[in-house]
Amino acid sequence: MQALYAQLLVGLINGSFYALLSLGLAVIFGMLNIINFAHGALYMMGAFAAYFLLNVGGISYWWALLLAPIIVGIFGMILERTMLKFLTGLDHLYGLLLTFGIALIVQGVFQNYFGSSGLPYAIPDQLKGGMNLGFMFLPIYRGWVVVFSLVVCLGTWFLIEKTRLGAYLRAATENPTLVRAFGINVPRMITLTYGLGVGLAALAGVLSAPINQVRPLMGADLIIVVFAVVVIGGMGSIMGSIITGFALGVIEGLTKYFYPEASNTVVFVLMVLVLLVKPTGLTGRAA
């Protein structure tokens, strides 16, 4: 039983990362119509930003949670302004190839300087240790990651679905020309939206640093699974990508307990099944 709970917790943690990353992908896809293959590399940059903030600047984890997404978000906005912007109206394939190329370059540069092994990032003092819940032992940091990710995901959902700014975003996703003709600076909004999606990826990177170490290829491995999550959930829906992210993490965790041999493939098997039954994903619209 202990082992089942432990796997469930691992599942929830992975689910947190899936949710944060697929949420960012969904936001970016909605507004820019780009399948952002650079997402894994930007997640990695978030972890590295936290690492440098701590080891070079002496800036704590708590500040890194705020600063790393901003720094990497700005890097993302520069990418958008200098490159992605020019792909407006072209086939998805171009965006995919460009962002894939960016991912390879960014990862290559980091690998060149830091090799492939992981750099350690310590759990902040306030989140060290664990709690005995009776039925299981809960490392506090892991609990924090799940709760904080959930809060950030729901906050993003609220921003997009319930606020005036979110209404601009949803409207511009449908008809950017008309929204611009109402006086809204849509190109700037697109840049900021890309920054938001990238910032979410970087935030996931910071959260993961104390758990998974900081490695140049940490995002490359993860992003493949995240894309499967996105295919299953469908690109179009904000809440859909959050729920699918957490759910697939948990399903993966359960598989690890009940049938460990399949734990690495279960997400992809599900993806194939969903594609056969509903090619636009469970909650998605046609891409």
Residue environment code for 51-88, b if the CB has 16+ CB neighbours within 10 A, otherwise e: bbbbeeeebebeebbebbbebbbebbbebbeeebeebe
To other proteins, the closest distance from the beta carbon of 190 in angstroms equals 12
Strands (E), 12-158: 130-132, 137-139
How far apart are alpha carbons 40 and 223 in whole angstroms?
5
Between 30 and 249, CB nearer to other proteins: 30
To other proteins, the closest distance from the beta carbon of 164 in angstroms equals 7
To other proteins, the closest distance from the beta carbon of 174 in angstroms equals 5
Residue environment code for 134-154, b if the CB has 16+ CB neighbours within 10 A, otherwise e: eebebbebbbbbbeebbebbe
The residue to which tokens 């800036």 are assigned:
59
To other proteins, the closest distance from the beta carbon of 185 in angstroms equals 5
Between 120 and 183, CB nearer to other proteins: 183
Residue 177, judged by CB atoms within 10 A of its CB (0-12, 13-18, 19+), counts as: exposed
Position 197: which residue type?
G
To other proteins, the closest distance from the beta carbon of 171 in angstroms equals 5
To other proteins, the closest distance from the beta carbon of 131 in angstroms equals 42
Residue 145 near residue 205, CB atoms below 8 Å: no
Binding region for other proteins (CB under 8 A)? 164, 167-168, 170-171, 173-175, 177-186
Between 174 and 261, CB nearer to other proteins: 174
Between 176 and 205, CB nearer to other proteins: 176
Which strand (E) or helix (H) includes residue 124?
none
Between 97 and 184, CB nearer to other proteins: 184
Kindly tell me the number of DSSP H helices and DSSP E strands found in the chain: 11, 2
Between 94 and 168, CB nearer to other proteins: 168
